[in-house]
Amino acid sequence: MPVVTNAEAAAYRVTLPPALYQGTVQESLADIRVFNASGEVVPYAISRPSARTLPRGPGTVLPLFALRGDSLAAADAVRVTIDSPNGAVKLQTGGTPAVGGVIRQYILDGRPLGTAVSALQLIWPENAADFSGRLRVEASDDFSSWRTLADSAPIANLHANGQQLVNNRVDVAATQAKYWRLSWMGKSAPFELTSVIAHPADSRLEAERSTLAVAGSAQGVARGEYQFDLGARLPIEKINLELPELNTVVAAELRSRAHPQDAWRRIAVGKFYRVNTADGELRNESIDIAADSDRYWLAREIDGMGGTTRAPLRLVVGWTPSDVVFLARGSGPFMLTYGSAVAPAADTDFSAIPTAVTVVRAALGEPRELGGKSRLIAPAAAFPSRRVLLWATLALCVCLLAWMAYRLTNDMGKNAPR
């Protein structure tokens, strides 16, 4: 496969496509090489990308609304008016509470965030009175049903002998919600919050996955069973059954094996469906499995739990493809080759390369055949003539020693005294 680059760089990175996995001979990908225009092998390394954690962004100040008086009465009397999907929320309470009444609750408008929150930081005046209490944090998406995220979080604002102890941060499980409610448990704080800062949670960016779908065959197997040949040894992480007909539900177990003569291993059991609803077609999610590189798979319907479909099923597998990183030594264009039964591993350890070296993403062109199908078959082992000669010589020496021992014993027996 030719390497297609768009910019000059010291190193390039390409993602291995499904066709390469189907064309390699060795499961460890040892038969991969990268050549430059002069036919020289350039240093390369095979890496498996993993999920990346993006750093947290800055906190966001949320619109804050104070509710005074009895907490339950205040919450029940709240009326919400939303001007626009991203606009401000207007809160109206029944009755007219006394000016300067005790604040029992705060309502936060979290709709402008658009991301999950991992902590809330309370801000109050610098000259606020000393206080030590507990706070309940709740979240809601409809302002009707609330879920508790922190039942009794400690809050403190203490001063003594020129020292201060301030605990104004409440950590919660990563949650994305439209509305937040803060309620004092027991006594309320003698001061009013001026603002609340929502700190976003770490976002996890999953590595991009490749997928392959193959049709099943019902020949040579029992009724309700389908066999699948992926044509490659893939590092499978997700698996699913694609049903050919609408409004079908199948409960099945999935098995795999590396070679046709091996026994089947049970990998997963699940219910697979494809139904039509008022909102459109609904399908089941893929099943996460431990990394499995078996080539052959079997889907077996569980008796009494599913509905057999007459059309063949399709097996859909997903995996995180490896990357090949290589140094652009020599002149291009570069070529990624694979498919040799005799090529030993030749990848390089790039851990010592400075991080300042920029690795540019490149693409792979359409594959073309070089050595032919014969390169995929390991040549027959040569006749071990040297080994046979060595063993023949050793056997001859043993026979000679046995003959000499026999002669010596026979002569000693004839000359022995009476």
Token pair for 396:
């001859």
Handedness of CA 146, 150, 151, 152 (dihedral sign): negative
Token pair for 209:
């996955």
Grouped pLDDT means (10 residues each) for the chain, 418 residues: 88 88 82 90 83 65 82 50 50 49 87 84 90 91 87 87 85 88 90 90 70 84 84 89 84 90 91 80 85 90 58 86 88 88 79 77 88 70 78 92 84 65
In this structure, are residues 218 and 314 in contact, taking their beta carbons and an 8 Å threshold? no
Three-point CA angle 219, 224, 228, nearest 5°: 50
Token pair for 202:
């770490």
| Residues 244, 159: Cα–Cα separation, whole Å | 70
In this structure, are residues 321 and 47 in contact, taking their beta carbons and an 8 Å threshold? no
Token pair for 270:
């699940």
Q: Which residues of 146-162 are buried (b: 16+ CB within 10 A; e: fewer)?
A: beebbeebebebeeeee
Distance of CA 352 to the CA centre of its chain: 27
Helix, strand, or coil (residue 236): strand
The DSSP output letter for 318 is E
Bridge partner list, 248 = 274
pLDDT at residue 89, rounded to an integer = 52
Three-point CA angle 183, 189, 193, nearest 5°: 75
Token pair for 287:
């099943």
Q: Are strands 203-205 and 52-54 parallel, antiparallel or unpaired?
A: antiparallel
Of the candidates 29, 122, 130, which has an alpha carbon nearest to the alpha carbon of residue 347? 29
Q: Which helix (H) or strand (E) holds 394?
A: helix 385-414
Please name the residue that has the structure tokens 């770490």: 202
Of the candidates 167, 186, 79, 67, which has an alpha carbon nearest to the alpha carbon of residue 122? 167
Bridge partner list, 213 = 316
**325 CB-side CA count, 13 A:** 16
In this structure, are residues 13 and 305 in contact, taking their beta carbons and an 8 Å threshold? no
Amino acid at 250: V
At 187, phi and psi to the nearest 5? -75, 150
Strands, E, within 48-112: which ranges? 52-54, 60-62, 64-68, 79-82, 89-92, 103-109
| Residues 255, 300: Cα–Cα separation, whole Å | 8
- The model's pTM is 0.55
